[in-house]
Structure 1
Amino acid sequence: MNSMDSSVDADATVIGSRRAAPREGFTPELPVKIAANTPMAGVPAEYAWLEKTFGAMERDWKVDLRSLGRNSQGRTIETFRLRLAGGTKVDVHFDISGFHQLG
């Protein structure tokens, strides 16, 4: 992927990046915040952040599991369990409250 602009809807922005706080995204209490109003904008933003952080999907990492829940602040969190190329499993948490609410 050359740039986030080529694959993410203009209405979505990823707040945070590889250069942000090292723990951002790695605990439910400090998720990567996705600023989007719809899943059509938000989901591509999640995948863009994953590719920016971990490399190319299917080559450098694969999604083993996606799940929804709430964190201790009551925010809607989507968790991706990734399997990295070397076999390491990593959980990444996104705050998707802007475009998805649990009932």
Structure 2
Amino acid sequence: MTESDAPTRAVALLHSTHDPATYEALTRKHRLKVVYTVHTDATAVLAALIAVQYSLEHAVDAVVIPHLGPLEPRTPWWVVTQAADLITATRHYPLGSAVTTQTRPEQ
């Protein structure tokens, strides 16, 4: 297996309502090697910070959160894309995508 064939290192953030079939499908589709799994029902803001913390701690390239769908603007989940790719049930948001998607209101 060459370097480009290697699976993507990832952290999984699983909510109690996640669908195991969706999680399994995402790990196969995106060729993820999950190196750490967090089980939490914390609020979105806290869960997003937890995801960022573990992505930095484990030096991963992606965070998979199978219970999320498309992200709405101004949700706390965008912060994850400042540390790693974010993979949800419906989309793959690349590292840094929050910078081009989110805008701050003028003050």
Q: TM-score, normalised by structure 1?
A: 0.33
Q: More helix per residue: 1 or 2?
A: 2
Structure number with greater Rg is 2
Q: More strand per residue: 1 or 2?
A: 1
